[in-house]
């Protein structure tokens, strides 16, 4: 028997929580979790605002939601139960938090915990999965993948990425048509800044907008490659002189040769990551100062990860599938694993879900392979296209009302009565 599996004879409740930056399809995962658990007769509680809700005993009873409301989560963006950026310290460094979690689990007979997030969330899930043995409580923890950055190890891709990739490719294509129309007398250089602190997957997806030297984006800047100002400006100048205009897509995490973020703002987020102030205006200033070209830049920010109207059908289906699989793993007695996506074919695109140990995922980061980036460092290769293209396939539009707006669901989020005293972190 696998060390991550033990006979499941426990009955009780399942707790689900969302963590980190939300995506256009994280609620599809929530729907997969709730519907799969209901099918097995298991009650699902959701933690309000991620792991903080578990610590504060702020739980939501999803059994109060109708089947129609839960199904509508599949096309609703944002985080239906609230999310947070909060990383648990080790058991040795902050035992009080772990003792509090066990108290909450005991009080509400929680025997399965599913944590839906990215790298730091996988680390938290791994730590909680080790609680049972350390604190004499039967709890099984499953990490559930989610991140627009596509940087989780082991899994072929991350739910949430396919939709932001589709949005980025579409935005690059559409904005470039606009720039091309006005380039004769107006903007010569357009810069689109996208998310991706350490990994350039989202920036790479912009490359799907066109193919060939004259097709946008003409320049992609990846965090994996040190920024070379001279080479960048030379490429911009040559492109404008040849094509008449230039579209640049830059990852927020672009660094100089010394390893410093171009957009370093000097502050840190709750996970200790550098807060970035904007690489697009830095690049735009360079273009203006050194080349004299008129420019525009855009920062889609939350728009790129919340654009459910432009979601990838493949992404939405994968997001639901990992939620459903996570419940199956938990009820089968598995612990400290994550349902990951395994690609079995590029063309036609085929995939399946398999369990992978959290220990091989937590605190690891998957960056763009070198063979996905062109030799000059400014584009994507054919291999990258083969990987990326299937992930943006298909449309999964939300239903629209007579007012022309999407019909998104807002849950009741009925609170579970508290049984414990308050907790101070």
**Looking at the domain assignment, is residue 101 inside a domain?**
no
Task: Please tell me the predicted confidence (pLDDT) of residue 277.
Answer: 61
Residue 42: inside a domain: no
Q: Which of 229, 150, 262 is nearest to 195 (CA)?
A: 150
CA distance 228 to 214: 21
Nearest-angstrom CA–CA distance, 42 and 133: 23
pLDDT value of position 273: 57
- Residue in 374, 411, 368 with CA at minimum distance from that of residue 71: 411
CA 234 to chain centre: 34
Strand runs labelled E in 78-196: 110-117, 140-145, 189-194
Examine residue 129 and state whether it is found in any structural domain, yes or no: no
Residue 187 maps to a domain: yes
pTM of the model: 0.94
CA distances from 33 to 102, 120, 315, 327 (A): 22, 21, 16, 6
183 part of a folded domain: yes
Is 149 labeled as catalytic in the residue annotation?
A: yes
Q: Is residue 16 in a domain?
A: no
On whether residue 346 sits in a domain, the answer given is no
Q: So what's the pLDDT on residue 224?
A: 96
Q: 3-class SS at 333?
A: coil
Domain range for 191 is 161-308
How many Å is the maximal CA-CA distance in the chain? 72
The token duo for 259 is 């390893």
Question: Which tokens belong to 203?
Answer: 């920036």
| Residue 424, domain member (yes or no) | no
Q: What is the CATH number of the domain that holds 261?
A: 3.40.50.460
Residues of the chain with pLDDT under 70: 1-10, 265-277, 425
20 near 83, Cβ under 8 Å?
yes
User: Considering 93, 123, 138, 149, which one is annotated as catalytic?
Assistant: 149
Report the number of distinct structural domains present in the chain: 1
pLDDT for 8: 47
- pLDDT for residue 92: 85
* Cis check: omega of the bond before 169, within 30 degrees of 0: no
């Amino acid at each position: 028997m696998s060390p991550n599996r033990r006979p499941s004879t426990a009955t009780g409740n399942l707790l689900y929580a969302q963590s980190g930056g939300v995506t256009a399809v994280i609620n599809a995962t929530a729907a997969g979790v709730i519907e799969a658990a209901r099918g097995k007769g298991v009650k699902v509680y959701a933690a309000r605002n991620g792991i903080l809700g578990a610590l504060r005993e702020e739980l939501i009873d999803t059994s109060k939601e109708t089947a129609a409301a839960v199904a509508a989560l599949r096309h609703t963006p944002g985080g239906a139960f609230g999310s947070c950026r909060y990383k648990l310290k080790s058991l040795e460094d902050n035992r009080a938090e772990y003792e509090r979690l066990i108290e909450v689990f005991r009080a509400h007979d929680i025997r399965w915990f599913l944590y839906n997030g990215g790298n730091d969330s996988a680390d938290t899930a791994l730590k909680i999965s080790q609680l049972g043995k350390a604190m004499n409580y039967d709890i099984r923890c499953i990490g559930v993948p989610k991140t627009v950055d596509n940087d989780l190890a082991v899994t072929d891709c991350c739910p949430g990425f396919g939709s932001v990739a589709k949005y980025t490719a579409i935005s690059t294509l559409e904005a470039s048509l606009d720039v091309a129309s006005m380039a004769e007398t107006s903007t010569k250089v357009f810069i689109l800044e996208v998310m991706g602190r350490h990994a350039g997957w989202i920036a790479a997806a912009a490359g799907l907008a066109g193919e060939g030297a004259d097709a946008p984006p003409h320049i992609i800047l990846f965090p994996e490659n040190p920024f070379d100002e001279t080479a960048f400006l030379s490429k911009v100048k040559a492109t404008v002189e040849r094509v008449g205009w230039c579209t640049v897509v830059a990852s927020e995490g672009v660094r100089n040769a010394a390893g410093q973020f171009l957009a370093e703002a000097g502050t840190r987020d709750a996970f200790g990551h550098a807060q970035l102030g904007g690489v697009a205006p830095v690049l735009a200033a360079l273009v203006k100062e050194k080349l004299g070209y008129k420019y525009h830049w855009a920062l889609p920010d939350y728009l790129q990860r919340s654009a459910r109207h432009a979601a990838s059908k493949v992404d939405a289906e994968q997001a639901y599938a990992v939620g459903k699989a996570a419940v199956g793993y938990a009820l089968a007695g598995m612990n400290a694993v994550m349902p990951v996506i395994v690609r079995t074919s590029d063309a036609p695109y085929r995939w399946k879900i398999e369990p992978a140990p959290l220990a091989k995922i937590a605190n690891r980061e998957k960056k763009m392979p070198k063979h996905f980036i062109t030799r000059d460092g400014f584009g994507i290769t054919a291999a990258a296209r083969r990987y990326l293209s299937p992930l943006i396939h298909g449309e999964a539009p939300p239903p629209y009302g007579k007012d022309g707006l999407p019909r998104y669901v807002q849950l009741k989020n009925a609170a579970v009565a508290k049984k414990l005293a308050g907790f101070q972190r």
